[in-house]
């Protein structure tokens, strides 16, 4: 009877339908499944409750039925905490990799535009990196074009990419 009173007071406090509550609980379970798939090193970087961390680490050792029950338990723990903060923290774990990939693509783009003799890219790189040595870059571009004409391996193109990468780290 006390349990029914708790549910009644809970449903009075929230203006959410039973279906909405189920959707939120399902989202918490899915978030819990995502947590279970993370390596322990990433889990320890997250600012989550100690009970939740322990439950996730236990779940990583479980199989089938026990894992399913544990996932439900983890979903409940997530619902008790703030699921949105946990979701944001998980997204931020992947951010450095995405940023590195974006930088890598930018460097490739500059290299390709330099090899294609796009003069605007020289100014673009120079404004971003004042230490840019245009004479050295032009030499690498000439060598890369020569290698491409002779169907040789793109040694100079790789050197140009490494030079741009070094500029970025300096």
For residue range 128-152, list pLDDT tens digits in order: 888 888 899 999 999 999 998 999 8
Q: How many CB atoms lie within 10 A of CB 64?
A: 7
Q: Which residue has the tokens 């979701």?
A: 87
Question: Which residues contact residue 115 at a Cβ distance below 8 angstroms, ignoring those fewer than 6 apart?
Answer: 141, 144, 145, 148, 157, 160
Q: What is the CA radius of gyration of the chain?
A: 27
Q: Which CATH architecture has domain 96-169?
A: Orthogonal Bundle (1.10)
* Segments making up each domain of the chain, as ranges: 15-81, 96-169
pTM of the predicted model as reported, rounded to 2 decimal places? 0.51
For residue range 14-73, list pLDDT tens digits in order: 678 889 888 888 888 888 888 898 888 888 888 888 899 899 999 999 888 899 999 899
Q: Which runs of consecutive H residues, i.e. helices, occur in the chain? A: 2-13, 18-37, 40-45, 50-59, 64-80, 83-115, 119-128, 134-149, 155-169
């Amino acid at each position: 009877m006390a349990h029914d009173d708790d549910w009644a007071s809970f449903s009075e406090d929230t203006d959410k339908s039973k279906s909405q509550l189920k959707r939120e609980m399902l989202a918490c379970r899915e978030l819990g499944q995502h947590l279970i798939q993370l390596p322990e090193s990433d889990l320890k970087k997250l600012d989550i409750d100690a009970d939740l961390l322990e439950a996730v680490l236990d779940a990583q050792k479980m199989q089938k039925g026990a894992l399913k029950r544990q996932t439900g338990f983890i979903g409940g723990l997530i619902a008790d905490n703030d699921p949105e903060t946990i979701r944001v923290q998980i997204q931020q774990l992947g951010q450095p990799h995405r940023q590195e990939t974006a930088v890598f693509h930018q460097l490739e783009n500059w290299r390709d535009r330099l090899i294609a003799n796009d003069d605007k890219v020289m100014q673009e790189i120079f404004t971003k990196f004042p230490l840019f040595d245009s004479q050295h870059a032009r030499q690498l571009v000439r060598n890369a074009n020569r290698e491409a004409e002779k169907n040789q391996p793109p040694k100079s193109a790789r050197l140009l990419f490494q030079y741009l990468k070094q500029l970025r780290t300096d």
